[in-house]
Chain A
Amino acid sequence: MFFKDSYDVIVVGGGPSGSTAARYAARNGADVLLVEKRQEIGSPVRCGEGVSMEIFKHVDIKPDSSWFVNQVTGARIFGPSGKFILIDAKKAGDEVGAVIERDNFDKYLATEAARAGAEIATKTSVVALNRDGGEITGVRVRRMGEEKDVSAKLVIGADGFESQIARWSGFNTNLKTRDTTSNLQYRMTNLDLDPRFTDFYIGSVAPGGYVWIFPKSREVANVGIGLLLSKIKGPSEAKDYLDAFIENDIRFKNASIMETVSGGVSVSAPLDKVTADRIMLVGDAARMIDPLTGGGISNGVIAGKVCGEVAAEAVKAQDFSDEFLQRYEKGWRELLEEKLYRDYMAKEKLVSLDDVALDKLIEVMSAVRLENLSTKEILTAIRSKYPELVKEFEDLI
Chain B
Amino acid sequence: MIELNDDKCMHCGACVGACPANAIYLNEVILDFNDDCTDCGLCVRACPVGALSLIRTRGLKVPAVTA
Are the C-beta atoms of A125 and B28 separated by less than 8 Å?
yes
Q: Which residues of B contact A229 (CB under 8 A)?
A: 18, 42, 45-46
A interface residues with partner B (beta carbon < 8 Å): 37-39, 46, 123, 125, 160-164, 167, 174-175, 177, 180, 182-184, 229-239, 260-264, 266
CA distance A155 to B45 in the complex (A): 33
Q: What are some 8 contacts across the A-B interface (CB < 8 A)?
A: A125-B28, A162-B13, A229-B18, A230-B67, A232-B67, A236-B48, A238-B49, A264-B16
Are the C-beta atoms of B16 and A182 separated by less than 8 Å?
no
CA distance A252 to B17 in the complex (A): 32
CA distance A260 to B49 in the complex (A): 10
B18 to chain A, nearest CB (A): 5
A386 to chain B, nearest CB (A): 30
Interface 0/1 of B1-21, CB less than 8 Å to A: 000000000101111111010
B51 to chain A, nearest CB (A): 8
Number of interface residues, chain B, beta carbon within 8 A: 27
Interface residues of chain A: helix, strand, loop or mixed (majority): mixed
Are the C-beta atoms of B53 and A264 separated by less than 8 Å?
no
B26 to chain A, nearest CB (A): 6
**Interface residue from A163, A230, A234, A262 paired with B65 (Cβ < 8 Å):** A234
Are the C-beta atoms of B47 and A235 separated by less than 8 Å?
yes
Are the C-beta atoms of B27 and A125 separated by less than 8 Å?
yes
Q: Which residues of B contact A239 (CB under 8 A)?
A: 48-50
| 8 pairs of A and B residues whose beta carbons are closest in the complex | A236-B50, A264-B14, A238-B48, A235-B50, A161-B17, A184-B48, A262-B48, A262-B12
Are the C-beta atoms of B17 and A182 separated by less than 8 Å?
no
CA distance A162 to B47 in the complex (A): 13
Nearest B residue to A142, CB-CB: B27
B66 at the binding interface (Cβ < 8 Å): yes
**Interface residue from B16, B25, B27, B52 paired with A235 (Cβ < 8 Å):** B52
**Interface residue from B13, B28, B49 paired with A236 (Cβ < 8 Å):** B49
CA distance A236 to B48 in the complex (A): 5
B63 to chain A, nearest CB (A): 13
Extra contacts, 9 of them, besides A46-B12, A161-B14, A182-B48 (Cβ < 8 A), are A162-B17, A164-B25, A174-B20, A180-B18, A182-B18, A234-B45, A235-B45, A260-B10, A264-B16
